[in-house]
Every structure is written in C-alpha cells, then in structure tokens.
Amino acid sequence: MGSEDTQDDVESSDDAERSSDSSSERDRSSLAVPIWLDRTAAWAMRLIVIAIALGGLLWLTLQLRAVLIPFLVALLVASALRPVAAALERHSVPRSLAAAFPLLVLGAIGAAAGWFVYRSTASTLESDEVTEAAVRERVEDWLMGSPFNLTTSQIDEGERSLRSWLSSGIGSFGPEQAALVVQVVGGALLAAVLSFFLLKDGAQIWTAITSRVNPARADSVHRSGQAISGTLAAYVRSIALTGIADGVLIGIGLWLLDVPLVLPLVILTAFAGLFPLVGAVVAGAAASLVALVAVGPSTAFWVVILTLAVQQFEGNVMQPLIVARQVSIHPVVVLLSLTAGGAIAGLAGAFLAVPVVASLIAAVKAFSAEMEVGGDPLEDGVDAPSG
C-alpha cells in the first residue's frame, strides 16, 4: 500500500508539473512578438541604420565640397579628353605633353570664342544706332505706348528706383561675396591642375588602387572603373550636344527677329549650356539686352519669350532624352537627379548630380554583370581571373 501511495504521489506531482509547464508555455506564447512585427522591426532598424549612414555621408560630402567639386569636374574633363591623350601617347608623344595638349587646345578654343564674342559685341555697340540717347528714346516710346501708357515722370521715377537698386546691390558686395569669388577661382584652378594629372597619371593611379583590392574582386572593380569613365565621357558629350542644340534654336529665333550678333550669341548660348541653370539665365539675359539696345523693347520682350520657351524645351524634353540616350538612364532619373542635386547643393549639385548618379548606376551594373557571368568567386571557392 505504501508503494502504491508513493507512486500515486509521483504521478500527481508529474501531472502538476506538466500542467504548470503548459500554462507557462501558453503565457509565453501570448507574449511572443508576431512574426510579421518582428520582421517589420528588423527591416525598420536596417533602414534607419542605412538612412543614418547616408545622412552622414551627405554631411561629409557637403563639408568637403570645396575639394570634391573640383575633383569631380576634373574627372569629367579627364574622362572626355582621355581618348585624345591616349591617341597622342600611341603616336609616341610624351605622356606629359599628351595630357597638356588637349587641355591647352580646349583653353585656346574658349579664349578664341570669348575674344570673337567681345570684338563682335564691341563693334556693334560702337554704331550710331546703339547710343545711350537712342536706346533711351526707344525704351521711353515703348513704355509711353500701349499697354503701359506711362508718363514721363513715372518713367523717371522708375529709372531712379532701378539705379538705386543696382547701386545697393553693388554696394552689398562684402567679405562673404569676396570669399565666394576666391573659392570659385581657386576651385577652377584646382580643377585644371587635377585634370592634367588625371589625364597624365589617371591610369596608373587606378591600377595602383585595384592592385590593393582582393584578387577575387580586382577584375570586377576594374570593369566598374571603366564603366564610370565611359559614362562621364558620354555625359560630357550629351551636355555639349544640348548646348549646341540650344544655341542653334536660339540663333534661328534671333535671326527671325532680326537681332544682330546672332553668331556671338549662339556661341555664348552653346558655352552657357555647360553650366546648368545659371548658364541659361546669363545667355538669355545677354540676348535680351542685345535686342533691347540694338532693336527695341518689343523685340527684347519676344527674345525673353523665345529664351524661356527654348529653356523649358531643353530642360524638360531635350536634355533628359539626350542625356538618357548617351548615359543609358531613364529621363525620369535625369529629372529627379537634377532636382535633388539642386535642392541639396545648389548649382554645383545640379551640375554634378546626373553624372554622379549615372556613374554609380553604370558601376553597379558592370560589377553585377561580372558576378553573374563568372559567379561569386568568394562564395564558389574558385580563383578570380588575374587582371
């Protein structure tokens, strides 16, 4: 009897333990995080970390923009001129001379174009029809006619206000503006020097970088670098084509409106196309000013309309299509890159956003294509091809 009572006590104790364990499991299951919430939290945490990293990288980029912007400009120039330098090197031209020659030719073309524009403009402004009195008379007649119908006193008051505004704008030039001018000039000189060294030693610098990469990845990294260089060169070609197209369209309109200095204004518009936003404004203002002083206010008004129409067509249709065709990215990506770059870093951001985004896309595609063709040597356990 005693043994049976002991066995019953053990069994009842086991039943109590099992019941307690079952109750604990039910309690734990009721407090367990659902799978969907656990995965969502994991994704959210990773996205937050990525956002913080991108924000830090963007902040660091903005802090170093005085160096990064000239470097990126130099990279654009070197990528575009590298085929010329390489062709000279193949014809036994010393490497330093082969790097300097295309840069000197480019500078000479720019200087010659500037001199031609200056001389043509000066000779036109020296004519009897473009005196201050003649321009003033045309402007007054235009303002006193329909639809403005201003009086002489109103015109004089407006002129005084305009002169006061211009003098206050010039007088506001202070240390900050002077520092900006120095920074722009210094950045241009730095970009020119970097362009020379990238043309001269760019291939050797890139080889030295790739030689320190894991041999399993060296070939893929090298292909990505080639893709970036090709994309940057294509981007330079695209903005050059866009500038030429802008100049031709503006030139046709100016010729139809019988505005003088058509060829200098075409050259100015083509060169201004290299500088997004501000270049279009400067070229349009120059064309409107020429029309105002040489023909009359009405013609200047139509030149403004023409410039705005061409700029809208170029910015929203022509540039996205040409850039997308040259660098193989969708026009939507071009528009979004321009907008985001301008919002983040102003003019420089708008100028560099598209080539940077296009280069990153090309590099990722080249790297991914290499992995798809050859597999991942680090995972497959095979040796990467020696580069």
* 215-258 residue pLDDT tens: 777 778 888 888 888 888 888 888 888 888 888 888 899 999 88
> Per-residue confidence at 181, pLDDT binned at 50, 70, 90?
confident
Provide the pLDDT for residue 382: 39
Provide the pLDDT for residue 387: 37
Residue type, 187: G
Provide the pLDDT for residue 55: 86
Q: What is the mean pLDDT of the chain?
A: 78
Whether residue 127 is contained in a domain is answered as yes
Return d(Cα 280, Cα 268) in angstroms, integer.
10
* 57-95 residue pLDDT tens: 888 887 888 888 889 889 989 988 988 998 998 888 898
> Per-residue confidence at 193, pLDDT binned at 50, 70, 90?
very high
Whether residue 378 is contained in a domain is answered as no
Percent of the chain at pLDDT above 70? 79
* 284-294 residue pLDDT tens: 888 888 888 77
H helix intervals, 172-277: 175-211, 215-256, 262-272
For 184, the domain range is: 67-158+176-373
Indicate the number of domains in the chain: 1
Whether residue 348 is contained in a domain is answered as yes
Whether residue 17 is contained in a domain is answered as no
Residue type, 258: D
Q: At what angle do helices 175-211 and 95-125 cross, to 10 degrees?
A: 150
> Per-residue confidence at 376, pLDDT binned at 50, 70, 90?
very low
Please tell me what DSSP assigns to residue 91: T
Return d(Cα 77, Cα 84) in angstroms, integer.
12
* 125-148 residue pLDDT tens: 676 556 667 667 777 777 777 666
Provide the pLDDT for residue 377: 43
**Inter-CA distances, 69 with 74, 183, 325, Å:** 9, 11, 25
**Inter-CA distances, 378 with 60, 105, 216, Å:** 32, 47, 7
Range with the poorest average pLDDT among 268-277, 321-330, 360-369, 374-383: 374-383
Whether residue 269 is contained in a domain is answered as yes
Return d(Cα 224, Cα 352) in angstroms, integer.
19
Return d(Cα 130, Cα 136) in angstroms, integer.
10
Whether residue 123 is contained in a domain is answered as yes
Whether residue 45 is contained in a domain is answered as no
Please tell me what DSSP assigns to residue 318: I
Whether residue 384 is contained in a domain is answered as no
Q: Residue 175, preceding bond cis, omega within 30 degrees?
A: no
Q: Residue 147, preceding bond cis, omega within 30 degrees?
A: yes
